[in-house]
Amino acid sequence: MIRNILFDLDGTLTDSKEGIIKSAQYALEKLGIEPPAFSEMFWVIGPPIRQSFSEKFSLDEETAFRGLKFYQERFGDVGYLENEVYEGVPEMLKILKDKGYRLFITTSKPTVYTEAILKHFGLYDLFEFVSGSDLDGTRGTKAEVIRTVMDKHGLKESETVIIGDRKHDIIGGKEAGIFTIGVRYGYADKGELESAGADWIAKTPMDIVRIVEES
């Protein structure tokens, strides 16, 4: 029986593509790299920014770190507010909270930005704990932020599920030995969640309530 629910943020609770992509484009320009068009940069949403830059542009560790700091420069100023909550998410979270489920955030986004976004949209108090990365990009993988919550709160694997929109959420959940729900309304490519092995797929936020209650 599921009692603990770990939520990804970007693409799962909020539609944050504008702020993330524009901040990534800004960072690439500062590095002297011609950024791809907005419509060609959805790859940057989900994984740690430094990792994405390094893999996509074959950057060395120092340059990728500089890119991360440039990204944070813009994102911390205006990017985090270029965002909106998906329709149905507040209602879904309140239903789950009222039913007694323990709600947590597990995201590769730095904790300081995650908390600011949740507070901005009035969602912060619905969560017991926010687990994100550090500003230097460490503790950024999904498995790491999941394990932080699991260890700190003594959560049982058999009672815990992670909900996210990208393969990294599903893979991280499986590495931690917990259940996984992929949300189809986020940023995943066609078939991405299924290929990663998601236990369930939610088409809408309210589907999440049904899946959790039936599991």
Distance in angstroms (rounded) separating the CA atoms of residues 2 and 157: 9
188 phi/psi in degrees, rounded to 5:
-70, 145
Pairing of strands 102-110, 4-7: parallel
Is 8 part of the annotated catalytic residue set? yes
7 phi/psi in degrees, rounded to 5:
-110, 130
Please name which of 172, 178, 10 lies closest in space to residue 83, comparing C-alpha atoms. 10
Radius of gyration of the chain (CA): 16
Q: What residues are annotated to the active site? A: 8
